[in-house]
Structure 1
Amino acid sequence: MTESKILTREQAIQRADQWRAEGQQIVFTNGCFDIVHLGHIDYLEKARHLGDRLILGLNTDASVSCVKGPLRPVVDEYARARLMAAFEFVDAVVLFGEPTPIELIEVIRPDVLVKGNDYTVATIVGADFVLGRGGRVETVALVPGYSTTKLIDRIKQSY
């Protein structure tokens, strides 16, 4: 069941078009989601409530390494994709290897683009595209004190 929610880019485009034809609002967010924690769960759950379907763009391993450094990710892309797909509030997971998700955003054409409130609309990749199509860009409050980097630091200090 969870594997069926992990889609190729082409499958994600078709699924988004189908949901849109059914009158459903497509929400898109993206991230690395390495070592899943409460902050991730809370964020994704909030994002899902901003529309009818949530499509998650997930950085590939190579992309995570470029963004977070050579020691990341801790969890490989297949495992991260399965974990994300297991959440009931995530409707589809699509891997992307580009430096940013702009290409994925442009082909999926979400109605709502979501990031955490550590971003502003001006700094969210794809915001201009979504707003230009009449969509919305939203930020959601993050749970204070939760981050993968902080978890890794805590683990390193413990051992």
Structure 2
Amino acid sequence: MMSTEASAVALQDCAALWSVGEAPASDVVDAACDALVAGLDTPGLRILAACTRAEAACDVLDLLPPALGELGLVFYPFGSPEGVEPAARALARRVLAGRSAPWNLTFWSHKRGGSELPLLQRLAELDEQYTLLECSGRTVDEVDAEVTAMARRLAARP
């Protein structure tokens, strides 16, 4: 079972990913359920966790802000630029945990058009390195190692 701290981070990460369109609302409900199982318990979290998959798409937008607020977590409105860096940190943690390939992080950064955040700009540039491996003389492992190092720095940002 996850600790309450780890489940709070997982819920925050999932909410950030949802805010940029990278996680479905049903994943937010699943993260809320996991948080309850781990021992976090607030009225808003219980209501959010009680959503069915069918209700999630419509109800998460209204239920997520109070649930996160009760836990002292941050809500990023759907589509807001404020959610980009937290979503990038969430994706970086997935890479570091082995739940996602490094190129997924670079592809996402490239798809987002980089950002004002220099780490995301560099990750977007590294996405092109995967495409140009034969021309650049680099190996997948070399690019993966650089992406993983950047993921560590990104995940460590406050």
Q: Note whether the superposition's TM-score is higher than 0.5.
A: no
Structure with larger Rg: 2
- Which structure ranks higher in relative contact order (CA pairs < 8 Å, sequence separation ≥ 6)? 1
TM-score (norm 2): 0.26
TM-score (norm 1): 0.26
Structure with bigger strand share is 1
Structure with bigger helix share is 2
